[in-house]
């Protein structure tokens, strides 16, 4: 076993100040080391005491880490935009070119009438082009959808709310547990596409092994819940809850890793696979509770 | 011109008439609600509220932190008492006695409380009719105690939950904190992530009633459960079931790395399906008549156990341990035992990934 952590390190872990990899390592160690777990619980009690004592001060609104990062991102974007606009206004050559063009805009009445006629013709042509494109588009889409519907197997049960990518991933997997359709919380379903695009794949599975039937859905749900917790601000979780949450999460990750190894070697052993799915389900339930709590706390901020 | 003006006036009058009548109704309703509430601010700065309620009233409440104590009583009323709180209100529909009561509380004085509010309190004590169904939600630390009500549903974040004498149904879910359920009846479901679950003397009130207990890192202890369908699940914790099996009952227990123990009367009759997926032992005091095809690692009835041997949670008694050590090494990592004890009246499924399974005689 690794050496026990010092008090300062444990405090930083409690406060969520460690790097992600350090957080995971600390959580794993604390889950296995009773001495560190006791020390952490004691530190958590102290933190809870102080947070209660300083509750009036904490109630004053201060920028959160998430808000700060959004502000920084916005500033960076503005600076980039300013640089770009500077680049656009920098060249005096472009202004000179416009000045030369202004001479061409001095029309006689005859040439003005001719120019207006030309403009009207161009406008009509543009409208015709746009309208013709709009009438063609839907037919193509319909054809594509019909083709997709003919080729896709009927894997979606009635009443399930599934994302299109999830339907595709499940493929011909008939062994997918029916409960999977109910594990994605409403809050997770409401997330925007932008958030989903940022989702990183869960790296729990063994390298080189294939995903087991039903596993992908759990991993998707877990990733979205973790994202929800992160967006809500995981620092909003109370210290006493946070300690147990981290321990349980480490325990479940370890369980998933162990059961997955056995299930991957014996994919036909229903019990082995069932233990893996149970571990995933427990993790989903834990994350759902914490995500709900995190959102409630974020709303209260 | 005159005609158009009169039409406009008529339209305005028609549009405003329903609002005026609704406003008048609301003004009638508010004093009725206030009359049902009595405020007592004693020396300990506790606030009290009272509302007449039906015997089967549904009471709901949410606290962000603080203890909650609910007691069933004989009076047809809901009486709430909040300590270390700024405001307390009982929201009821305009019907007397009220079929529903929502208890809302806030740490702020004279707060404008409305449905769905969830504030903090030192301790919130409720006295409700015995036939009441109570829904409690907590979003922070705080213990919950409930006794002598008909139905209970709890969603708790952190803190212990103690439930006694609930007559119709129980559903308790907690993130961290122990759950204790005693002397109750009806379908029951209790689950926590990092706490222990203890249930004692819980009876089924109908044939289809089921009992379900679940935890991740805590232990599950079940004693005196009379439901015909019992399910227990733990990840790293142990499971202990102590008591008789119902005739025709269905028992399903599952642990990932914890041990699983059943302490049953010596005359128990059941069919057994026990399996350890990876490593762990199956040790039984009962003579199991092994089914064909079952790869039993432990011979039925072995090891024998003294009649008055120690009983409790794992680790197993010394004789069982020595028997496990003396057993020849298994070729396969998993262990399985399918068979029948007696005439096989109940069905018992025991599964563990890497824990051991124990079947002991009481």
Confidence of residue A189 (pLDDT cuts 50, 70, 90): very low
Please provide residue B157's backbone torsions phi and psi, each rounded to the nearest 5 degrees: -95, -60
- The C-alpha angle A250, B193, A1, rounded to 5 degrees, equals 30
Q: Which of A42-51, A102-111, B217-226 has the lowest mean pLDDT?
A: A102-111
Which chain B residues are Cβ-neighbours of A241 within 8 angstroms? 157-158, 175-176
Evaluate whether A249 touches B194 at the Cβ level (below 8 Å): no
The shortest C-alpha distance from B94 to chain A (Å) reads 30
Question: Can you count the helices (H) and strands (E) in chain A?
Answer: 13, 0
H/E stretch holding B299 reads none
Q: How many CA atoms lie within 13 A of B281 on its CB side?
A: 21
Residue A44 and residue A38: Cα distance in Å, rounded? 10
Q: Cis peptide before B97, with omega less than 30 degrees from 0?
A: yes
CB pairs under 8 A between A and B: 74
Rounded Cα distance, A141 and A134, in Å: 12
pLDDT of residue B162: 97
- Whether B175 sits inside 8 A of A269 (CB atoms) is no
Interface check B123 vs A, CB under 8 A = no
**B161, B178 in Cβ contact below 8 A?**
yes
Interchain contact B235–A (C-beta under 8 A): yes
φ, ψ of residue B231 to 5 degrees: the values are: -135, 135
- Predicted confidence band at B44 (pLDDT cuts at 50, 70, 90)? low
In contact, B102 and B117? CB cutoff 8 Å: no
pLDDT digits 0-9 by tens, B102-159? 999 998 888 888 888 888 899 999 999 999 999 999 988 899 999 999 999 999 988 9
Q: Does residue B83 sit in helix, strand or coil? A: strand
pLDDT digits (tens, 9 = 90+) for B181-198: 999 999 999 999 989 999
> Is A254 an 8 Å CB contact of chain B?
no
CB neighbour class for A57 (10 Å; exposed up to 12, middle 13-18, buried from 19): exposed
Quick one: which of B285, B298, B361, B360 has its CA closest to B325? B298
Distances (CA, A) of B77 to A34, A135, B53, B72, B121: 49, 68, 5, 10, 22
The answer to whether B210 contacts chain A (CB < 8 Å) is no
| Among A225, A282, A221, A262, residue whose Cα is nearest residue B236 | A282
What is the C-alpha to C-alpha distance for residues B359 and B362, in angstroms, rounded to an integer? Answer: 10
Closest to B273 measured CA to CA, from B257, B258, B284 = B284
A248/B194 Cβ within 8 A:
yes
CB contact under 8 A, A282 and B257: no
Which chain B residue has the Cα nearest residue A250?
A: B217
CB contact under 8 A, A241 and B236: no
């Amino acid at each position: 076993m690794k050496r026990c952590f010092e008090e300062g390190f444990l405090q930083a872990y409690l406060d969520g100040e460690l790097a992600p990899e350090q957080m995971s390592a600390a959580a794993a160690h604390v889950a296995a080391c009773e001495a560190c777990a006791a020390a952490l619980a004691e530190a958590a009690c102290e933190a809870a005491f102080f947070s209660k004592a300083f509750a009036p001060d904490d109630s004053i609104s201060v920028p959160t880490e998430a808000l700060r990062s959004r502000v920084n991102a916005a500033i960076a974007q503005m600076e980039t935009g300013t640089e770009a606009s500077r680049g656009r206004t920098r060249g005096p050559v472009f202004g000179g070119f416009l000045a030369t063009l202004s001479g061409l805009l001095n029309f006689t009445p005859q040439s003005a009438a001719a120019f207006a006629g030309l403009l009207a013709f161009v406008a009509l042509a543009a409208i015709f082009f746009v309208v013709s494109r709009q009438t063609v588009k839907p037919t193509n889409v319909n054809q594509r959808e019909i083709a997709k519907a003919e080729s896709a197997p009927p894997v979606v049960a009635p009443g399930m709310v599934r994302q299109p990518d999830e339907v595709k991933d499940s493929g011909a997997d008939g062994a997918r547990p029916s409960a999977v359709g109910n594990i994605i919380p409403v809050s997770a379903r409401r997330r925007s596409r932008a958030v989903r695009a940022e989702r990183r794949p869960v790296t729990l599975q063994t390298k080189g092994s294939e995903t087991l039937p039903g596993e992908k859905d759990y991993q998707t749900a877990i990733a979205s819940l973790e994202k929800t917790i992160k967006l809500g601000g995981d620092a909003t979780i109370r210290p006493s809850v946070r300690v147990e949450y981290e321990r349980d999460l480490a325990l479940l990750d370890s369980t998933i890793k162990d059961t997955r190894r056995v299930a991957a070697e014996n994919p036909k052993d229903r019990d082995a696979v069932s233990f893996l799915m149970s571990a995933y389900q427990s993790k989903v339930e834990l994350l759902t509770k914490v995500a709900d709590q995190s959102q409630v706390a974020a709303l209260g901020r | 011109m005159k005609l158009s003006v009169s039409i406009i006036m008529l339209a305005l009058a028609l549009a405003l008439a329903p609002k005026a009548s609704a406003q008048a109704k609301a003004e009638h309703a508010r004093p009725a609600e206030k009359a049902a509430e009595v405020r007592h601010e004693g020396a300990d700065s506790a606030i009290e509220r009272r509302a007449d309620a039906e015997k089967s009233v549904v009471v709901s409440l949410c606290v962000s932190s603080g203890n909650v104590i609910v007691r069933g009583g004989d009076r047809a009323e809901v009486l709430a008492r909040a300590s270390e709180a700024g405001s307390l209100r009982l929201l009821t529909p305009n019907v007397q006695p009220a079929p529903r009561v929502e208890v809302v509380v806030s740490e702020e004085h004279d707060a404008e409380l409305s449905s769905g509010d969830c504030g903090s309190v030192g301790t919130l004590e409720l006295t409700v009719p015995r036939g009441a169904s109570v829904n409690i939600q907590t979003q922070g630390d705080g213990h919950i105690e409930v006794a002598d009500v008909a139905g209970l549903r709890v969603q708790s974040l952190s803190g212990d939950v103690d439930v006694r004498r609930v007559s119709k149904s129980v559903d308790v879910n907690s993130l961290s904190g122990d759950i204790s359920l005693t002397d109750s009846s009806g379908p029951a479901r209790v689950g926590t992530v990092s706490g222990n679950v203890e249930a004692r003397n819980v009876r089924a009130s109908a044939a289809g009633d089921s009992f379900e207990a679940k935890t991740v890192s805590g232990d599950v202890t079940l004693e005196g459960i009379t439901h015909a369908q019992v399910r227990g699940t733990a990840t790293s914790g142990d499971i202990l079931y102590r008591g008789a099996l119902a005739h025709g009952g269905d028992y399903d227990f599952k642990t990932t790395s914890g041990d699983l123990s059943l302490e049953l009367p010596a005359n128990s009759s059941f069919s057994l399906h026990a399996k350890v997926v990876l490593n762990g032992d199956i040790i039984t005091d009962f003579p199991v008549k092994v089914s064909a095809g079952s790869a039993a690692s432990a011979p039925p009835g072995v090891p024998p156990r003294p009649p008055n041997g120690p009983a409790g949670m794992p680790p197993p008694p010394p004789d069982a341990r020595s028997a496990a050590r003396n057993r020849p090494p298994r070729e396969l990592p998993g262990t399985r035992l399918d068979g029948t004890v007696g005439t096989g009246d109940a069905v018992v499924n025991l599964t563990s990934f890497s824990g051991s399974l124990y079947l002991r005689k009481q």
